[in-house]
Structures are given as C-alpha cells and as structure tokens.
Copies of this chain bind each other. A is one copy, B any other.
Amino acid sequence: MLRTHSAGSLRAEHIGQTVTLSGWVDRRRDHGGVAFIDLRDASGIAQVVIRDEETAHPLRNEFVLKVTGVVSQRPEGNANPNLPTGEIELIAADVEVLNESAPLPFQVSTALADSETVGEEARLKYRYLDLRRPAQASALRLRSNVYKAIRDVLHAEDFTEVETPTLTRSTPEGARDFLVPARLSPGSWYALPQSPQLFKQLLMVGGVEKYFQIARCYRDEDFRADRQPEFTQLDIEMSFVDQEDVITLMESLIQAMWATIGVEVALPLPRMTYADAMAKYGSDKPDLRFGLELVDATAYFQDTPFRVFQAEYVGAVVMPGGASQPRKQLDAWQDWAKQRGARGLAYVLFNEDGSLGGPAAKNLSEAEQAGLAEFVGASAGDCVFFAAGATKESRALLGAARVEIGRRLGYLNPDEFAFSWVVDAPMFEPAADAVASGDVAVGAGAWTAVHHAFTGPKPEFQDTFDTDPGSALAYAYDIVCNGSELGGGSIRIHREDVQKRVFEVMGISDEQADEQFGFLLDAFKFGAPPHGGIALGMDRVLQHLTKTESIREVIAFPKSGNGFDPLTSAPAPITDAQRAEAGVDYEPEDEA
C-alpha cells in the first residue's frame, strides 16, 4: 500500500489519524532544524513536517516520497487559508524515498511554475516535467472532462460510437495524405485518413443512423504554428435529418462542453448567412465579441473624384478613438496592409475639431467629406480605414483590419465566447480562387467544392447547381467562435445521380470518381438514406476552453515545427533492413 489518502484530500476532520501519502517534493523550507515540505500529488498539496534532520537532509525538489505520520492541526497563526489543506500538516514518523531526482532543467513547483517562462523546445523535450506544472496538468484533465461531457450527451441521444479504420485509402479532403507502405502488398500503400468522411457515410448506408467518434485524423501539411500533423476531431453523422437536427444537437454539445469550465452558453446560438458574414465582417469566421461592422461605401462613392475609390467595391471600418494615433502608428498600418498583400490602407481621421485628416481626405469631394462621418458611423476622434478594389479581397483586408483594431483596443476578451453559425455558403467556388488562397482544387474543373464533394445543395438548388454552379448554395453549416472555425458540416448527397453531377461540375471524370470513390457510389445504389453530419476540431475547442495561445498547450505530446518531436526525436531514419522489409522499393518483375 503506497498511500492511504491523496495529499489534497486532507482536512481538519483527519486530525489525529495516521495516514500515508505518496508524492513529490514540491518545495521545502527549513526553520530551526525542522523541514517543511510541500508534498504534491495529482490531487493537490499537503505540508509535511520532518523533525529528524538526518531524514530531511537529502530531500530535494521532485524527490518522490512515501510519508507516514499523524495529521495534526497547524500551530496557531500558521494556517494557510489559500490551500485546501491549509489547516493541517502531517507530522512525519516514517519517510521513504521512492525515487530521487536530478536537478531539473526547469522548475515545476506549483509555487514558481506559473511565473517562470520556459522555452518551448525545453518544455517539449522534457514534456514529462512540463506536465507536472498546474496549467499543463489541468489542460489534460480538461480535455478528458470535455470528452466525457460530449459522450454523456451523445449516449443519452442514443448515438453509437464506432471506430473507423486508419490504415485506409486516400480521402479527398484536399490536403496531402500521410502514406504507409504495405509490406504484404509490396508497391501498395495505405493512407492515414484526413477524416472519417467516407466511412461515416458508409455507416449511414449501413443503417447505423446515429454515429459518433472522437477520431484521430492526419494531414501532411506544411506545419504552421497552430497545425499538427495529427489532430482529433469529434465526428458525427446522422440519418433522416436535416440541417436543423444537426445544429440542435451540436448546440447541446457546445453547451455541455463550455459547462465544464463553468460557462453557461445561451441557446439557440445566433446564425448568419455566409453572404452577411462576408459583407459585415469580411470573413466566414467572424469574431463577434465586438461590433465594428464593415460599411459598404461603394454606392456612397459611386461618383467619387478619387481614382482609388472608383472600384468594384469600396468599404470602410471604423477604429474608435483612432484619430489620435501618431503618424508612426498610421504608417505601421500601411506596413501591416502590405504584409497582407494589399497596396496600403487608405484612412480618414475625424479630428476632434471637426476637420478631416489623413492623405485620402483631400481627394474626396466636398459632399463626400461632409456626409462621411454619418455614413460610416464615425464620431469625432475616430479613424476610418478604407479598402477599395475587387470585392472579395477588399472585404478580406477590412475584415482583418477589423480584428486588428479589436486586438489593439482590447476587445478580444478571452473570457467571452461569441458563437455563431454561418450557413448558406456557396456550394462551389472557382477552382482558380481556391488555388490562389492556398487550398487544393479537387478535380480538374473550373469549379471546386467550398466544403467538399459530398456536400449536398440546398434543396432549392437541387435542379440547377450544375447549370449555374456560381449561384448554388450548399446545405452546409459552420460553427464559429471568437473568430475561429470550431467545425462544420453539411447535409450530404445520398443519391448516386446527384453525386455524379457534382463530380462533373468539379471536373472529376467518371474514371477518377470510380477509382477514388467507386465504393461510395456503389453504396448509393442500395438504398442510401438522407444523412448529414458535422465535425468539430477538438484541439481548437480545447484551446478556447483553456484560453491558451497555442494548440500545442492542449495536446499531451505535441510536435514542434516541421512535425518533429523533441521528446522522442521522431521521425527518425530507418535501417536498410526495415526499408527492404517494408517493400518500399519493390519493383514488379517483368511478366514476359
């Protein structure tokens, strides 16, 4: 028996009992020949008093001790009201060192850790020490609690948790697959799934009706700070449902997840069309913790003498109090815009004295100047930024400016959670646009799917989506929180003829479709039910719940840049024998 109690559970009611604790030396203080040790385990901390100097002498931070003794009341005035165990202390009768600790590369004591800044490389290399720090430990625990909350909701709704294969075929999600050579079929490879998309649809064809999985997914992308090669997604699919059913379920899940951090999310969540999101926020994942909506000033400037504003679109966003920014800051905004590929960011300052400042002002007509403040909703002391040009790019620039304004003005409160559904996105976008924005266009057509190739059209576009792809809206919905996309889903196509028409729009040939998704098209022949679902990025959700800057803070053993693990040094070279055995270099023999 290594312990009778957990350290954090001791209270005044235990006074007089003999107990055994096991844990780590969080810190020690010495006072008149007596050692006071904060003994830490997963439950918390208890103070251990060791009066025997010889016993106490060798004990250093992070030694692992087993201590037996009597729980006693702390002497008058020595109670610590900040500690749940602060009324008591354990008078050690027997101390056993279960393990020693070498000096640490960085401190983990609960007393120090939060204030100490440790380089990320060291934290990842010694992740097992990093995880002893309270914030890191509680992030792991929170993920476990959130998963429990999810499962409680879904089991109550009679969902079946199903595991889908991870040694499988390429799924057409538009990113690169991780590949695994198949030793027993030399020359053939498995792909790790980018999502369980096809399998969950097959489960619907199989009559499962309500499926979920907390699924590991894999994308071989160029790792940015907030991407990991493997990630976890809550994956849900339901049969005989429409958009309303999926949204209602997901809202109850969001409520349950946020309840784990004591936040009560009011339902139903707001909804916004994709068109509105782009027009008002310049983004399909608007941050709704603050206003500052974009103002479409195209009509306002329709007869403008200012050449720059003679454009397809002119829009504005107000920065409250921005007129007092020093010239240097206004110049910095220009650099900011140029870094995003724009030529600059035109602005007008509404000075406190009623005059207009900034280089753009003098290019405007008198009437334009006179009505501007009212039109864009600016007050004296504000600054208004403008973007003019192609609608999509200009809105994107203003949307980014809006968030940057929010950041600078302290509007991005991490304790506030502003959710919204974004619905009615276009079904297709020009393939060239997708490629230009860094996505992969699946298929060789002029159009590619905004969501993915299995997303159905809204019912009213069922007949026309292929003759007029640019107008068709998808039966899809994204859930957004504080400017980031938590997840999204759609009502899927369940008819072979509709699926084939979508492939045609995307320029996916019959041959290619058959090769890549033939088994799904086959499945649609045999009574596939109407179905739809959603997927939620759990790493992103946990990042919101823990209010941390990086997704790596919520993953037990994250990779650093380029997919390298400083802890295990994975990936690593393989031996020639492994390579030969894996069949990587297999050459089929000529069949003469």
The residues of A with any CB-CB pair to B shorter than 8 Å are 1-3, 22-24, 40-42, 62-64, 98-102, 104, 126-132, 137, 140-141, 143-144, 147-148, 151, 155, 159-170, 176-185, 187-192, 198-199, 202-203, 205-210, 216, 218, 220, 222-223, 229-230, 232, 239-242, 494-495, 519, 522-530, 555-557, 559, 562-565, 567-574, 578, 581-582, 584
| Interface pair A206/B570, CB less than 8 Å apart | no
Partner of A102, one of B130, B176, B178, B525: B525
User: In the complex, what's the smallest C-beta–C-beta distance from A194 to chain B, in angstroms?
Assistant: 14
User: In the complex, what's the smallest C-beta–C-beta distance from A572 to chain B, in angstroms?
Assistant: 6
Q: List residues of chain B with CB within 8 A of the CB of A218.
A: 167
Q: List residues of chain B with CB within 8 A of the CB of A528.
A: 64, 99
User: Given A144-B160, A571-B189, A230 and B42 touching (CB < 8 A)?
Assistant: no
User: In the complex, what's the smallest C-beta–C-beta distance from A364 to chain B, in angstroms?
Assistant: 50
15 contacts between A and B (CB under 8 A): A22-B240, A22-B530, A40-B207, A64-B528, A99-B528, A102-B526, A129-B526, A140-B208, A143-B162, A148-B161, A151-B151, A164-B556, A168-B568, A170-B572, A216-B216
Q: List residues of chain B with CB within 8 A of the CB of A563.
A: 167, 182, 184-185
Q: List residues of chain B with CB within 8 A of the CB of A202.
A: 127-128, 557, 567
| Interface pair B216/A166, CB less than 8 Å apart | yes
User: In the complex, what's the smallest C-beta–C-beta distance from A289 to chain B, in angstroms?
Assistant: 30
| Interface pair A203/B525, CB less than 8 Å apart | no
User: In the complex, what's the smallest C-beta–C-beta distance from A3 to chain B, in angstroms?
Assistant: 5
Q: Give the docked Cα–Cα distance between A208 and B129 (Å).
A: 11
User: In the complex, what's the smallest C-beta–C-beta distance from A186 to chain B, in angstroms?
Assistant: 10
Q: List residues of chain B with CB within 8 A of the CB of A22.
A: 239-240, 529-530
For the complex of A and B, list the 7 residue pairs with the smallest distance between their C-beta atoms, beginning with the closest: A131-B206, A101-B527, A182-B571, A188-B571, A62-B527, A42-B209, A128-B205
In the complex, which residue of chain B has the Cβ closest to the Cβ of A170?
A: B572
Q: List residues of chain B with CB within 8 A of the CB of A42.
A: 207-210, 239
| Interface pair A176/B584, CB less than 8 Å apart | no
| Interface pair B192/A180, CB less than 8 Å apart | yes
Q: List residues of chain B with CB within 8 A of the CB of A564.
A: 185
Partner of A582, one of B102, B179, B223, B557: B179
Q: List residues of chain B with CB within 8 A of the CB of A128.
A: 202-203, 205-206, 523, 526
Quick one: copies of this chain in the complex? 2
Q: Give the docked Cα–Cα distance between A62 and B140 (Å).
A: 46
Q: List residues of chain B with CB within 8 A of the CB of A189.
A: 571-574
User: In the complex, what's the smallest C-beta–C-beta distance from A554 to chain B, in angstroms?
Assistant: 10
| Interface pair A155/B148, CB less than 8 Å apart | yes
User: In the complex, what's the smallest C-beta–C-beta distance from A368 to chain B, in angstroms?
Assistant: 52
User: Given A62-B526, A99-B527, A163 and B232 touching (CB < 8 A)?
Assistant: yes
| Interface pair B3/A565, CB less than 8 Å apart | no
| Interface pair A206/B530, CB less than 8 Å apart | no
Q: List residues of chain B with CB within 8 A of the CB of A131.
A: 203, 206-208
Q: Which of A126, A131, A160, A523 has the most CB of B within 10 A?
A: A160
Q: List residues of chain B with CB within 8 A of the CB of A568.
A: 168-169, 198, 519
User: In the complex, what's the smallest C-beta–C-beta distance from A131 to chain B, in angstroms?
Assistant: 3
| Interface pair A557/B165, CB less than 8 Å apart | yes
User: In the complex, what's the smallest C-beta–C-beta distance from A388 to chain B, in angstroms?
Assistant: 40
| Interface pair A166/B230, CB less than 8 Å apart | yes
Q: List residues of chain B with CB within 8 A of the CB of A220.
A: 183
| Interface pair B104/A526, CB less than 8 Å apart | yes
Q: List residues of chain B with CB within 8 A of the CB of A207.
A: 24, 40-42, 131-132, 137
Q: Which of A161, A494, A524 has the most CB of B within 10 A?
A: A161
Partner of A530, one of B98, B127, B198: B98
Q: Give the docked Cα–Cα distance between A571 and B557 (Å).
A: 29
Q: Give the docked Cα–Cα distance between A559 and B574 (Å).
A: 26
| Interface pair A206/B582, CB less than 8 Å apart | no
Q: List residues of chain B with CB within 8 A of the CB of A581.
A: 176
| Interface pair A562/B160, CB less than 8 Å apart | no
Partner of A165, one of B182, B190, B230, B522: B230
User: In the complex, what's the smallest C-beta–C-beta distance from A381 to chain B, in angstroms?
Assistant: 49
| Interface pair B180/A178, CB less than 8 Å apart | yes
User: In the complex, what's the smallest C-beta–C-beta distance from A209 to chain B, in angstroms?
Assistant: 4
Q: List residues of chain B with CB within 8 A of the CB of A164.
A: 556-557
| Interface pair A199/B578, CB less than 8 Å apart | no
In the complex, which residue of chain B has the Cβ closest to the Cβ of A205?
A: B128
| Interface pair B169/A2, CB less than 8 Å apart | no
Q: Give the docked Cα–Cα distance between A179 and B199 (Å).
A: 23
